[in-house]
Copies of this chain bind each other. A is one copy, B any other.
């Protein structure tokens, strides 16, 4: 019924369904999301979703691929031209930060996906994430070979960066809710790219640099 998402041939209706689905799933998770609500936000009849895409699972898989599907490619592109491993690492962090800022659904969707043990995670997406970690491993290895980085566990570095950013982003509404929180926490910027990413960048570089 649906075409592989490679060709950008999606109709306006399909795009609207996917956009609505992304926002509902990111707010409520898979089981919390209501197909009726998605239909309502997309401004289509529920049956239209089943006509164009398929059942709830299929819809979710489509959304998740769309939302965290091409991060690896983006990072690879940004890193390509750079020589210095240190700068590569900085760009790695920055690109991630930008990606999370630009796609607000990524963070909560990814968190819940991990929390559920990848219950609904399409293998393609798992491979994409592995690809990202692998790039990081390349960067770190190169740094070690050039004598500027210490030996580390790339996967750990990855989840420290990722974990921090994703938690930072998703915790924003919680931080906003409680007035008794001190300014130091409450006043932190909502955007990651910028001050926060810069801070994380520096911390990670200090951690891995000889």
Contacts and interface: CB of A to CB of B under 8 A. Distances in A.
Interface in A104-128: 107-108, 111-112, 114-118, 121, 123, 126-127
A4 interface: no
Q: Which of A116, A157, A170, A178 has the most CB of B within 10 A?
A: A116
A51 interface: no
Contact of A163 (B29, B163, B181, B207): B163
In the complex, the count of this chain's copies comes to 2
Contacts of A206: 150, 206-208
A170 B164 CA distance: 15
A139 to B, nearest CB: 15
B178 A167 contact: no
Interface residues of A, number: 58
Contact of A28 (B31, B137, B150, B159): B31
A81 interface: no
A204 B153 CA distance: 13
Contact of A185 (B30, B123, B133, B164): B133
A130 interface: yes
Interface stretch (A40-48, A55-63, A195-203): A195-203
A11 B108 CA distance: 37
Closest 7 CB pairs of A and B: A163-B163, A117-B173, A31-B32, A118-B174, A111-B115, A207-B207, A160-B164
Interface of A: 27-32, 107-108, 111-112, 114-118, 121, 123, 126-127, 130, 133, 137, 150, 152-157, 159-168, 170-171, 173-174, 177-178, 180-181, 184-185, 188, 196, 199-200, 203-204, 206-208
